[in-house]
Amino acid sequence: MSRVSPKSFPQGIITKGHTDKNFQFLVLSGNVLLLIQSHLANLPPSQRRSANRAVFYFECFLWLINHPPITSTLDLRTNAFLSIQRLFYGALYSNCFLAAEVKYSGRQRLVRYFFKLLAELSKSSPINIFVYSDLTDSQVRECIAQFEAIGIDPVRAAKLMGWQVADRSANSFRLKMGAIFDVFGPDFTMELHQESKKHALAHSHYSNYANVVSRFDDFLRWYDDDPIDRPSLNAHVLQDPVFVYQLFWSFQRWHFEGYSERSQTQPTERVLANLQRQWIRIICWAKSVLVSGGLMCSPLGDVWPEGSKKLTRFLHEVGHHRYADGESLVSQKLLTIKRVCIPLYCKQDIFIFYIQWLIFLLIGNTMKNTMLRKGLTIF
């Protein structure tokens, strides 16, 4: 069987609770991939996500060890497939494959649900399954040593699976920075990873910013591949205020105007509101990580594109939104009132006034409805 070409690098990433829609399977393919995907749907929702992530990790593992394509169910009945499972379990417990920040319980969950998925597959087709529960602690260490003896390049693995960060709540996230690595080089990517680690520790939940990094990475991939004649990207041009100004205006156009092409659908008002909220996070992230970390200068005149704040008014949400200048922002929705328009962008004291006013209205409406139900007269 022919091996997958090293040039055919999978353009995907596994992140916490999210899988890149553009991930391309290269080793698992044909009838085997169809069988796996069909049986994933048979698992309970609580197990499906972990099993799905385990399958993606398995694909990454197979690619990293240069395994030949697995296309037929006959490939799942061999002793070689049995050995591959054992080696894969060693990889899941190894810090050379998954970052050290990944909890042991998370590794165990991946192993358990990958095994459950194989057990589900065996109901429709004979499979040679390695029973992970038979492994002793010393045998697990042997599996880890066997995997690490292969000599997997950690940078190559990180480029495929992402760079690990942990937030203040000890939740782990993987940042997709494959295009950043290709365009700006390993030194810039390592510095960005370190700055992202600091930034993540300042937040109790980092998933929104992990998505911001992913969006920036996608944009750089598009920008670098775009045939339009313009200055090429490298780490040095990020110190040019004029270039940064032009880059982020291009980023804004791609973020909003390119949505239809990326998703093959027309954005609804709610989608546009979400795009605007994400854009504000992108600017906050650029200031807090890229500029503060010295990886990029501010745009010319410190003028940042801020999208259109009017886009979020459709939702009538009461809550803070931090401006790009850092004055305010909470991305959570605090309260939604139909038919009551509240300015989204206001100072702290005005915001408190609106909240108190809304609470007063809610209490008044509740009392009014109660009295009506009891047949009392309202003066």
What residue type is assigned to position 238 of the chain?
L
Kindly state the tokens that stand for 128.
């040679």
Instruction: Give percent helix, percent strand, percent coil of the chain, each to the nearest 5.
Output: 60, 5, 35
Give the integer Cα–Cα distance in Å for 212 and 207.
9
> In the prediction, which pLDDT does 135 show?
81
Phi (first) and psi of residue 268, to 5 degrees: -80, 175
The rounded Cα 125 to chain-centroid distance in angstroms is: 34
Give the integer Cα–Cα distance in Å for 365 and 101.
50
Where along the chain do its domains lie?
14-161, 209-367
Give the integer Cα–Cα distance in Å for 254 and 237.
20
Q: What is the pLDDT along the chain (379 residues), one digit of tens a residue?
A: 344 443 444 444 444 434 444 567 888 988 888 888 888 888 888 888 888 888 988 998 998 888 999 999 899 999 999 999 999 999 999 988 887 777 888 889 999 999 999 988 888 888 888 888 888 889 889 999 999 998 887 777 777 777 888 888 888 788 888 889 989 998 999 999 999 999 999 888 888 888 899 899 999 999 988 777 777 889 999 999 999 999 999 999 999 988 888 888 888 888 888 888 899 999 999 999 999 999 999 999 989 998 877 776 554 444 444 444 444 443 334 334 444 444 444 555 666 666 666 776 666 666 555 555 555 544 4
> In the prediction, which pLDDT does 371 show?
55
- The helix or strand, by DSSP H or E, that contains position 172, with its residue range, turns out to be strand 172-175
- Mean pLDDT for all residues in the chain: 79
Its pTM stands at 0.64
